């Protein structure tokens, strides 16, 4: 693989498919090598030809993070360092310490107070109400409420932490990303388990929107330094992962346009003077035909290559604005494109709607499909075998966990 010397160096924090997808976008747009600092020597970025990967379990701690990124920037004083977080905790670290970063580091993020506020899901729901963005029926549960509180929607219900960063800092045996709760007894047990592990923030209890994965949507946006939205790409999620820790992670997406929906979110983001990438989880409610928003992620999502694959390279937006000083036009993704991280046989087995299966067949035939971790030319036997093994593991994962 060939590389070019540019005015900038991408530096990513993390280690999962998010980092590889962003690094791949940087290579395909600019032929640059990306430096990634993650916790462990595993994952799709480890062993890649387009990446120099540095593992250290302390990378998500304040002192080591600053020491690492500032040290890297000092070694490359003649370059602009594009610093991008690929997980909530990494994005929070960058935002929290923006004022302490070396002058040649570019960190396209909102201030920490706003970011911290948006990470609390109840804050996001207040913004939704202001801008006419629909969201599910919700109870904001505080530990002080005890277990004697009223429910105003039927079971099953969804339960999840309001502060996901704090939640994962307090692990326990039955910890899930999201819980589907079948009755009051289970609800009370899960609440006790979560707070018993040391979590102290609020919980979100929500009306469960009917329908399988095929009712889900994902929206990715980019806002420039002036808070103006410059790119929006909506994806129709056809399949998600169902393992306990991966529940809700996207597995199959087809890009689809919905300008009316996107304009509501554009207004919300611009009212906030939001800066950088944002990502929204949405579900279509067949009961009333509304799209209900679950949360905002203050970063590009782990499935961000569905955006790049649709023709809207995520690396291009930060580089063209912050390195080359360009004023970007507003762009909406309109062409269908298929993104998937599971074997085709898994996708066709577990995606139920024939219309969606037919779309997949057509896009596969037209070669409008990508699996982000398998890039032509990025071949090292050890990494490739690890990726194939993980890919084939999805047969067992879906057989065991999909219901």
- How far apart CA 109 and CA 285 sit, in angstroms, is 32
Residue 166 · residue 142 · CB < 8 Å: no
Residue 124 confidence (pLDDT) = 87
Residue 274 confidence (pLDDT) = 96
Residue 201 confidence (pLDDT) = 92
Residue 247 confidence (pLDDT) = 85
Residue 263 confidence (pLDDT) = 94
Residue 116 confidence (pLDDT) = 87
Residue 163 confidence (pLDDT) = 85
Q: Write phi, then psi, for 142 (nearest 5 degrees).
A: -110, 145
Q: How many CA atoms lie within 13 A of 206 on its CB side?
A: 23
Burial class (CB in 10 A: 0-12, 13-18, 19+), 78: exposed
Could you state, in chain order, the average pLDDT of each consecutive group of 10 residues for the chain (403 residues)?
Answer: 97 97 98 97 96 97 97 98 96 97 98 88 86 92 93 92 89 92 96 96 94 97 98 98 90 96 95 96 96 94 97 98 97 97 98 98 98 96 96 97 90
Domains within the chain, CATH numbers bracketed = 8-107 (3.40.50.720), 137-207 (3.30.1490), 213-401 (3.30.470.20)
Q: How far is CA 49 from the centre of its chain?
A: 24
């Amino acid at each position: 693989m060939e590389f070019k010397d540019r005015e900038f160096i991408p530096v990513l924090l993390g280690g999962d498919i998010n980092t590889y997808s962003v690094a791949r976008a940087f290579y395909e747009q600019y032929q640059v090598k990306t430096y990634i600092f993650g916790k462990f020597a595993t994952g799709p970025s480890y062993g890649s030809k387009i990446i120099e990967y540095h593992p250290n379990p302390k990378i998500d701690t304040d002192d080591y993070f600053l020491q690492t990124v500032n040290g890297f920037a000092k070694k490359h004083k003649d370059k602009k360092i594009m610093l991008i977080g690929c997980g909530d905790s990494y994005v929070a670290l960058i935002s929290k310490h923006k004022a302490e970063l070396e002058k040649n580091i570019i960190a396209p993020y909102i201030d920490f107070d706003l970011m911290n506020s948006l990470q609390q899901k109840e804050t996001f729901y207040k913004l939704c109400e202001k801008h006419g963005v629909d969201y599910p029926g919700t109870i904001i549960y505080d530990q002080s409420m005890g277990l004697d509180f009223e429910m105003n929607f039927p079971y099953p219900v969804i339960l999840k932490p309001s502060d996901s960063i704090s939640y994962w800092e307090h692990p326990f045996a039955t910890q899930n990303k999201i819980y589907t709760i079948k009755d009051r007894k289970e609800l009370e047990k899960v609440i006790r388990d979560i707070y018993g592990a040391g979590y102290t923030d609020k919980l979100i209890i929500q009306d469960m929107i009917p329908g399988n994965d095929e009712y889900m949507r994902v929206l990715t946006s980019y806002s420039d330094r002036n808070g103006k939205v410059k790119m929006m790409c909506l994806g129709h999620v056809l399949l998600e992962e169902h393992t306990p820790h991966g529940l809700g992670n996207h597995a199959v997406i087809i890009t689809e346009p919905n300008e009316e929906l996107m304009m509501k979110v554009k207004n919300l983001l611009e009212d906030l003077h939001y800066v950088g990438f944002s990502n929204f989880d949405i579900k279509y409610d067949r009961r009333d035909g509304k799209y209900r928003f679950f949360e905002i992620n203050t970063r590009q999502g782990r499935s961000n290559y569905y955006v790049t694959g649709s023709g809207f390279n995520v690396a291009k937006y930060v580089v063209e604005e912050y390195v080359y000083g360009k004023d970007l036009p507003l762009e909406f993704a309109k062409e269908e494109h298929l993104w998937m991280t599971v074997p085709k046989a898994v996708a066709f087995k577990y995606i139920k709607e024939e219309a969606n299966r037919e779309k997949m067949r057509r896009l596969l035939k037209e070669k409008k499909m990508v699996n982000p971790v398998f890039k032509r030319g990025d071949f090292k036997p050890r990494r490739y075998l690890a990726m194939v093994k993980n890919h084939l593991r999805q047969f067992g994962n879906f057989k065991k966990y999909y219901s």
